[in-house]
Amino acid sequence: MEKDSNGKNSNRKLTRRKFIVKGDLWLLLCLLGVLAFHFFAARERKAEGERYAEITVEGQVDAVVSLSEDGVYTPARRPAVQIQVRDGAVGFVHSDCPDKICVHSGFLSTPGQSAACLPNKVVLRVALRKGQPVDSVTY
């Protein structure tokens, strides 16, 4: 009986092994597919464009600042307002407004996000520029 079951076992093992090998192959292919997808998706995302911050004062574009270069920007017409780019994010770091809502908005990094200093009429907006990298502002 033991012999019999042993034989059955090894038989079963053999079939199971074959199945696993076949399954492994599919798993490997799936994994490769997923990896390739992520790889190309990441490349696509990188090629999508460069993030930049558009700073408007009184509704007029005052500056376009690349988020890939750290620095501090002060609009010429608003010397009391300081906007900083840090680690790919941008935000108000200083303002003479009474509420400081702009400073409390923190740092933005996602295209479409915006922050504003209403008393100073300064608006900060993160956007994505496709294609060529933006000309960065010299501070």
**Contact residues: Zn ion, CB under 5 A:** 95, 97, 102, 117
Nearest-approach distance from CB 107 to Zn ion, in angstroms: 15
Query: Which residue's CB is nearer to Zn ion, number 52 or number 92?
Result: 92
What is the helix, strand, coil percentage profile of the chain, to 5?
Answer: 35, 30, 35
Exposure string of 101-114, with b = 16+ CB inside 10 Å and e = fewer, is: ebbebebbbeeebe
Query: Which residue's CB is nearer to Zn ion, number 66 or number 95?
Result: 95
Nearest-approach distance from CB 82 to Zn ion, in angstroms: 11
Query: Which residue's CB is nearer to Zn ion, number 15 or number 60?
Result: 60
Beta bridge partners of 117: 122
